[in-house]
Amino acid sequence: MNPLARRIARTIGMSGPLPVSAFMTLALHDPQSGFYASREPIGAEGAFITAPEISQIFGELLGLWCAQVWQDQGCPENPRLVELGPGRGTLMRDALRALRSAPAFLNSLEVVLVEASKPLEAIQRASLHDADVPVHWARQWGEIAQNRPLFLLANEFLDALPVRQFVMTERGWCERVVVESRGELAFALAPLPVPLAISADRGAPDPGAVLEISPAGETLVEDVSRVIAAQGGGALLVDYGHTGRGFGETLQAVARHLPVDVLARPGEADISAHVDFAAMAESARRGGGQTAGPVAQGDFLRALGIDIRAERLGAADPVRAPDIRSGIARLTNPNEMGALFKVLAVVPPHALQPPGF
């Protein structure tokens, strides 16, 4: 066991088994050894590379999407642009650069980055030190005042929120928990079943079926939708995930771009789960917002003109043209990120259909 695993084992010894959601929270956000708290997760030495790091056009298009939605709603005053989990600050940097072509929107913005990781915040501050607008930081969504039109971007954020797992047994739905067994962390099932109301569109679960839910994600999306319904604005939620309502286990851990055991070395790997976009859309509608999508990321980016922008960039810099085309292919090809990644939008009720859908 590494040091964090030993501390988790001691916690289990004192307080009992941990739900998967509690284990995820400790593995990712423990102040001393959590993955996001103690290291830089993005890049060659991290666990993954996100879309903004692949192509500058990704952030540019998302920024311009916000400007178009703002204009479609009659240019409401004092808009706030929020990014959840802004990584290295690359997406926001590219978005703000593109928004120079929409000065009326840009010049009225307040930008807030929601970042729990101090190492990443330091990188973001360096990346955005010369931003054209005021940029502020918050540790969590709840710290942001909800009194202005909200334009929110969340790229690969929802997948890292804690999930609960339930397994269908002869006793009913039993929650999967983490225990200490023979000097190692291991999965087990809680002895008592939990009465879960399962939507009929999921079908009948077979024995051993796994149900994953993200209470934190659903609550967040409902809250964001409530602000947009009341104040105006729009949100783009981009992540890998599924739109069906069946059963299945998607919990995974990645270290240095390779899959690893979820429990083996907590704090040294990114842990995530595929986003249930149907559940997120339902949550948004509960909050009063109107949803568009989810659609495949490749279809969304092409509808916004990613190919045209890539041609222009390549023509302006022929040396970089092959890399530009390669990046676009990675973002849009169905065999890479184009189909697995989905995009869900939230806008106020009765707003115009947002671009890209």
Contact at 8 Å (CB) between 262 and 271?
A: yes
Per-residue pLDDT of the chain (357 residues; tens, 9 = 90+): 899 999 999 999 999 999 999 999 999 998 888 888 766 655 555 555 788 899 999 999 999 999 999 999 999 999 999 999 999 999 999 999 999 999 999 999 999 999 988 889 999 999 999 998 999 999 999 999 899 999 999 999 999 999 999 999 999 999 999 999 988 999 999 999 998 888 767 877 888 999 999 999 999 999 999 999 999 999 999 999 999 877 889 999 998 878 899 999 999 999 999 999 999 999 999 999 999 999 999 999 999 999 999 999 889 989 988 999 999 999 999 999 999 999 999 999 999 999 999
CATH class of the domain at 17-160+213-244+272-347: alpha beta
Nearest to 153 by CA among 78, 60, 77, 74: 60
Determine the Cα angle at 350 with ends 345 and 355, to 5°. Answer: 40
Residue ranges covered by each domain of the chain: 17-160+213-244+272-347
DSSP state of 334: T
Q: Read off the pTM.
A: 0.92
b/e per residue 248-273 (b: at least 16 CB within 10 A): ebbbebbbeeeebebbebbbbbbbbb
Backbone region of residue 235 per phi and psi (left: phi > 0; alpha: psi in -120 to 50; beta: other values): beta
Alpha helices in 99-179 (DSSP H): 103-106, 118-127
